[in-house]
Amino acid sequence: MKKFLAFLLVFPLQFIVAQIPAYYSSIDFSQSGIALKNQLATLITNTHDTPVTYDQVWTILQVSDLDPTNSTKVLLAYGYNDADGNIFNDRTRIKTNYGGSSGQWNREHTFAKSLGNPDLGTSGPGSDAHNLRSSDVDMNNDRGSKLFADGSGNAGTTGANWYPGDEWKGDCARIIMYMYLRYGLQCRPYYCAVGTTNTTDANMVNVLLDWNAEDAVSQLEKNRNDEIEDWQGNRNPFIDNPYIATKIWGGMLAEDTWGGLGLEADLESDFMLYPVPSNDHQIYVSHTGSVEINSIQIFNTAGQLISTYNLNSVMTTPVQISDIPSGTWIMNIQTEQGLLTKKIIIL
């Protein structure tokens, strides 16, 4: 995240577009919001051509969840310490030591089975390997079907809910987003996470967008995405590029691992922000044509959301954004055509 923001600050008006993987060749990334969500949902559903069984998941996880630093072990979801003598919170375990007994690892449904409506079961959505993680048996039981909620530090209960831990919160968020796209209303994010709901999509919970931005994609997630594609045929788009979540739902600015998704350069020529820098705590946003702006968000340089201006109107005159504190900020302009990110300076 910090690396991405540094890029924005140094090159606010330039965009480097990386090659978008061929898997996404059918996706029109000039779209955003629900239109983009629906495209991706169709893609990951149509390419999910080889559903796996619940038993097969044991075999898959022994490869997909391998510790990138030790191929004899799997990484355990929610785990955090191998050195304290407490197997409950182990971070790794020998990959062949799986089952249902204490000290073994088993299959954790990130989107808990019973939280789906209807229940996910152990086939179809209940055996989707993208949703299943290796986890200590007792840690898994402790999580049970508690809803995810915000917190800090290591995994554990927070009130009646469950915080997945600083290392795993982004992983969980991206899995829940995948499950929502793949299985629709059966896996609404608010079924398994608590927090404020999203203004673009009332089924989304904003804490998941925060976690997606705050916890960068790990090598484990990348390895899982590749291995599970080999088995099932489909991928988790939010692992390939966390910024896709920002394009769909807004919220905290996530890293764009593809460098602009090929659309900001098109929007760039149509928008103008002035004055920059500003000395009266306001910025005007102008557009050369007619475009609907859904919202404008202000982030600090650490990626934290400072304020939101919900517009949902066609721009025919410059929009005045007022009461911006002094400092350097990132302005996120969500439009019907896509998302544009700009640096602004308030003196």
C-alpha to C-alpha distance for 90 and 51, rounded to whole angstroms: 30
- Specify the pLDDT at position 260: 64
Enumerate the β-bridge partners of residue 310. Answer: 295
Average pLDDT, rounded, for the chain: 89
Q: Which of 129-143, 215-229, 234-248, 255-269 has the lowest average pLDDT?
A: 255-269
The Cα–Cα gap between 343 and 292 comes to: 21
pLDDT digits (tens, 9 = 90+) for 301-340: 777 788 888 887 787 788 888 888 999 888 888 776 667 7
Residue type, 56: Q
Lowest mean pLDDT among 100-104, 113-117, 223-227, 270-274: 270-274
Residue corresponding to tokens 């840690």: 139
| Spatial separation of the C-alpha atoms in residues 164 and 120, rounded to whole Å | 20
Say if residue 3's pLDDT is above 80: no
Q: Which helix (H) or strand (E) holds 138?
A: helix 137-143
d(CA 112, CA 126) in angstroms, rounded, equals 9
Q: Which of 122-131, 162-171, 310-319 is least confident?
A: 310-319
Task: Give the pLDDT score at 178.
Answer: 99
Quick one: CA dihedral 39, 41, 44, 48, positive or negative?
negative
Q: Which residues of 24-43 are buried (b: 16+ CB within 10 A; e: fewer)?
A: beebebebbbeebbebbbeb
Give the tokens for residue 164: 């997945």
- How far is the C-alpha of 1 from the C-alpha of 255, rounded, in Å? 6
Residues of the chain with CATH 2.60.40.10: 264-346
265 has a pLDDT exceeding 60: no
What whole-number distance in Å separates Cα of residue 163 and Cα of residue 168?
A: 9
Given a cut of 60, whether residue 73 has pLDDT beyond it is: yes
pTM of the model: 0.78
Distances (CA, A) of 119 to 115, 122, 135: 6, 9, 21
CB 184 within 8 Å of CB 127: no
Residue 287 is predicted with a pLDDT of 81
Helix ranges restricted to H, 150-193: 169-183
Q: Which token pair is 197?
A: 């709901």
- Lowest average pLDDT, out of 49-53, 118-122, 253-257, 290-294, goes to 290-294
Contact 139, 78 (CB under 8 A): yes
Q: Ranked by mean pLDDT, which of 69-73, 271-275, 340-344 comes out on top?
A: 69-73
pLDDT of residue 268: 63
Three-point CA angle 35, 36, 39, nearest 5°: 90
Q: 264-346: which CATH topology? A: Immunoglobulin-like (2.60.40)
Contact 86, 74 (CB under 8 A): no
Q: What is the pLDDT of residue 292?
A: 79
Of 69-78, 267-276, 282-291, the range with the lowest mean pLDDT is 267-276
Per-residue pLDDT band at 188 (split at 50, 70, 90): very high
Alpha-carbon distance 257 to 107, whole Å? Answer: 29
Tokens 């009461």: give the residue. 323
Phi and psi (nearest 5°) for 217?
Answer: -60, 130
Asked whether residue 1 carries a pLDDT value surpassing 60, the answer given is no
